[in-house]
Amino acid sequence: MDPYVTMGLTVVFVLFLIYVIRKNKNKQELNLPPSLPSIPLLGSLPFLSKPNELHMFFAEMVKRYGNVFSFMAGTRYTVVLNGHETLREALVKKSQDFAGRKTMFVDKLIYNKESRGIVFLFRDGEQWKKNRLNSLTILKQFGFGQVTVMEERIQGVVREFVIHVKACNGQDLDLFHKLLACTVNTLTGIMFTDKWLGDDEVDFLMSMIQNFADNLDPVFDIYPFLAYIPPFRGRLERARPFGARFEQYLQDKIDESTKEKCDSDNFVQKFIQMVPKEEYDVKELTFILRDLIVAGTDSVATSISWATILLGNRPRILDRLQKEIDSVVPPDRLPSLYDKVNLPYLHATILEVWRYRTIVPMGVPHATTCDTSVAGYNIPAKVLVLVNLWSAHMDSAVWKDPETFRPERFLDENMNIIKEDSMLVFSLGKRACLGELLARQETFLFLAAILQQFNILPPEGQTGITEAVNVKSGLLLEPVPFTLRLISRF
């Protein structure tokens, strides 16, 4: 090798070593969390195995670095929180410190240029607080009472679902997409009017939601310049019209929901009544609705899908659940929320589904709003923070045999629910999931009806239902495409 080349490589290597040593020394002096290896520009990305299974990779790294560590996502310093106690310290005890968001690049670029709404609103300011408080107040009003708006709407959709599935006569069923259409109809009934959507409108909304989820790729947050070069540029340009069409659809629905003859018992009218006239902004409401619809469709359909898959492969648990429901609910009516208190094993099973298959394993990324600390480490302000909810649900210090699906872990000897507060599926603190109440009610009512009305069997000619996992856009833990059979019990 040419001596000048050798000398040049040696100099580069020495400079790199100096850079690494100084960097580590600075981290020690500042008491920052330990860091994964990194190199200039690329950061730690070459050292991240299984990019679509980061929740599992980060949980493995806990053995080497502890529950709090950092890595460089390109040039962005990022902290990862793992384990039940660590997450509770950050998200509950220091909720305000970790209540920020970092704007997602694609959302800002093509969907939500003015950063409005709730879920993806990056600034922790007054507008976000107002949006969240108003929305939460309305959803709570709809979720409580003698006959709640939520339950009434969900039950109507459940009845239609049961009729449709029975008409399938036990044929192989693409359950996830059936449930997705149901959750879309449930949400629009609560948000807008009590009018049933036609198949074309449901398909349109599902395509809008799917497009949004598919393009919210974290790779653009790490390397924003990719959005301006082929083939990524073409991909995002094709997505741009979807954002405009989705926004226009929602604004049309707002107009429809505010007509004088429209039933006033919907989210849109309640929101407009609650907000002072001089503060009302139709665009703000548009993106609040978008966030609620996007967040409340895939996740609920995924929860119910996982439940049917896991129970269909575990006949002992399925049989016990059906016996419990049959002892409480007569066959001439569907289960209601009033029955929940008398169905503890079903309640425990839903909790175990959420623990065993954490639907959003890495949550939605947080950001620190000030200089803070967690688990003894200092974390600067405005730092991206990833919360590994999956690690908390697989934490052996909290759960015995966490890799086993066992609903009984949530029941004491008197069949009372225990350890529910150890579940972080909806996250915690100021950024906890706004639609938790709706998700809980919807999951319970759909699953109770499925178990009451149907036996769950594998597809024709197969001995089991696939339990393989697909991590969608690095965010959602969905089952891979699957089919099963729902055979009527009556």
Output the pLDDT for position 93: 94
Output the pLDDT for position 1: 56
Q: Where do the domains of the chain lie? A: 31-488
Output the pLDDT for position 264: 56
Output the pLDDT for position 144: 61
CATH number for the domain whose boundaries are 31-488: 1.10.630.10
Note down pLDDT in tens along the chain; length 490 residues: 555 545 555 555 545 544 544 454 455 568 999 999 999 888 998 888 776 788 999 999 999 999 999 999 888 899 999 999 999 999 999 999 998 887 777 777 777 766 777 766 555 567 777 888 888 888 888 876 545 778 888 999 999 999 999 999 889 999 999 998 899 888 888 888 766 777 888 888 888 877 777 776 666 766 777 778 888 788 778 778 888 888 899 999 888 887 755 555 788 988 888 888 888 888 889 988 888 888 788 889 999 999 999 999 999 999 999 999 999 999 999 999 999 999 999 999 999 999 999 998 988 888 999 999 999 999 999 999 999 999 999 999 999 999 999 999 999 999 999 999 889 988 888 888 888 888 999 999 999 999 999 999 999 999 999 999 887 655 788 899 999 999 999 8
170 Rama sector, left if φ>0, alpha if ψ -120 to 50, beta otherwise: left
Output the pLDDT for position 21: 47
Output the pLDDT for position 31: 95
List Cβ neighbours of 168 (8 Å cut-off, separation of 6 or more).
486
Output the pLDDT for position 49: 77
